[in-house]
Amino acid sequence: MKIELICTGSELLTGKLNTNAAYIGSRLFDIGLELYCATDIGDKEQDLTEYFNIAFARSNIIITTGGLGPTFDDITVETAANCLGLSIYSDRKVLKSIQEYFAKKSVLKISKINEKQANIISGAKVLKNNLGTAPGQMLHFEFKGDEKKYRKTLFLLPGPPREMQPIFKENVEPFLKNYSSTIRKSVSLRVFGLSESAVAETIKPVIDEAKFGNSQVAEFGILADDSIVDIKFAVSGFDEFVVDSSIKDLNLKFGEVLKGNVFGYNDDTLASVSGKLLIHKRKTVSFAESCTGGKIASTITDIAGSSFYFKSSVVTYSNESKVKILGVKEETLKKFGAVSKETAKEMARCVLNLSGSDYAFSVTGIAGPGGGSKDKPVGLVYIGFADNKKIECFKFNFVGTRKDIRNNAVNTVLDLLRKKC
């Protein structure tokens, strides 16, 4: 069975990242299927017609994203209908849902062009969009080729990922699962503190030993981003119990060789994992940020429920603020400088006293691209830690752009917090 994806939108041809293809490809992989091909195409009727005709002839399932909006360049519905020789009608229920959507935003009368999003291809099933105005559509149709008729299915999905993904998960995925004859389960093991090459070398013996029987297949991949390495692996087979056992065995073996560098699985983040540990231990944390400029606090508060354990973060970017707000001694700054272990330790101690939290961290460093020297190069970062028993400081030399250095500092603080818990 061939599943084809057509992503429409001229912006996809001028540099915009197409996350829809990655998402759909990943979801299909998880249910034991795969994309035959994926195409990005602009908003020209002639080009879209050509690709539709090719896809309808060669593929069993055709999925489109984009082109369901109200503007003149949203032509997916009309073009698909024309290619299949089908009519279009305005669906009253869809139109009502569009009106209700705008009413919630205090828009009592919708624009005439928005009514276009209620246009449905005859015979198609409407796929409700709870996060936008353009519904998806599912259409079964017959295609004649080689003097035979073939039953095929077309899915029209909205382009914005936040709208497309729920519709795909709730409607497309259950339908496609019927075509999968195998069970495939995948896991993403999240690692921090090791380079991508170091992770690959460390887990190689585990991968080499992962030889299952003829009824099972294991696939592996490694992806690095922002100093975090994801080990992605999937096990396929016909017996769910055996597949689950194999995944559990791989998780244990990866954990044994990677040790404390494994911080979570799948959607876990350093912030979410640290937060769960803080809640479990009923501890609180505060930060004093210099070179990270509030990014630690932002990352922490991205997690729902962080108010249970996060007390405060003080951004003291200048030396003056370090003295006046935190209470760092002027002598310390003059003698050792803002980027030093002495200043980092004082910052941590001061914010611990100010906040009354159980743990306190400080960050001071040179994020670049300028400002470095021979003794204190760009990428030098000191992270201080304080609790009611001790004060420590950790020295790091990060590399990369200003953004890379700041992100590395944030992740390192959160990893240290995880380990302190």
Distance CA 221, CA 62 (A): 27
**From 94-103, 255-264, 324-333, 337-346, the region with the lowest mean pLDDT:** 94-103
Mean pLDDT of 217-246: 89
Q: Is residue 357 within 8 Å of 284, Cβ to Cβ?
A: yes
Amino acid 318: pLDDT: 96
Amino acid 215: pLDDT: 54
Mean pLDDT of 400-414: 97
Indicate the domain borders of the chain: 3-177, 183-265, 270-420
183 confidence band (pLDDT: 50, 70, 90): confident
Distance CA 206, CA 360 (A): 38
Percent of the chain with pLDDT over 90: 82
pTM over 0.95: no
216 confidence band (pLDDT: 50, 70, 90): low
Four-way CATH pick for 3-177: 3.40.980.10, 3.40.50.620, 3.40.50.450, 3.40.50.12500: 3.40.980.10
Amino acid 147: pLDDT: 73
353 confidence band (pLDDT: 50, 70, 90): very high
Structure tokens at 144: 């004649």
| Helix (H/G/I), strand (E/B), else coil: 126 | strand
149 confidence band (pLDDT: 50, 70, 90): confident
pLDDT surpassing 90 at residue 219: no
Mean pLDDT of 210-236: 82
Amino acid 112: pLDDT: 86
C-alpha atoms less than 13 angstroms from C-alpha of 398 in its C-beta half-sphere: 28
Amino acid 213: pLDDT: 54
**Average pLDDT, rounded, for the chain:** 93
Residue 338 carries which DSSP code?
S
Amino acid 110: pLDDT: 78
Task: Look at the domain 270-420 and name its fold.
Answer: Maf protein (3.90.950)
**From 7-21, 271-285, 299-313, 385-399, the region with the lowest mean pLDDT:** 7-21
Residue indicated by tokens 């609180």? 284
Amino acid 302: pLDDT: 97
Amino acid 209: pLDDT: 85
Mean pLDDT of 57-72: 95
Amino acid 212: pLDDT: 59
Closest CA to 136 of 156, 160, 115: 156
pLDDT digits (tens, 9 = 90+) for 45-63: 999 999 999 999 999 999 9
* Sign of the dihedral through C-alpha 309, 315, 316, 321: negative
Amino acid 340: pLDDT: 98
Task: Look at the domain 183-265 and name its fold.
Answer: Alpha-Beta Plaits (3.30.70)
Amino acid 311: pLDDT: 97
pLDDT digits (tens, 9 = 90+) for 296-340: 999 999 999 999 999 999 999 999 999 999 999 999 999 999 999
Amino acid 413: pLDDT: 98
Mean pLDDT of 99-121: 87
Distance CA 374, CA 391 (A): 27
Amino acid 237: pLDDT: 85
236 confidence band (pLDDT: 50, 70, 90): confident
Q: Is residue 107 within 8 Å of 99, Cβ to Cβ?
A: no
Helices 196-209 and 240-258: crossing angle in degrees, nearest 10, is 130
Mean pLDDT of 255-274: 96
Mean pLDDT of 358-373: 96
pLDDT surpassing 90 at residue 35: yes
Distance CA 239, CA 246 (A): 11
DSSP string, 252-313: HHHHHHHGGGEEEETT--HHHHHHHHHHHHT--EEEEESTTTTHHHHHHHTSTTGGGTEEEE
Stronger pLDDT, 138 or 102, i.e. the higher one = 138
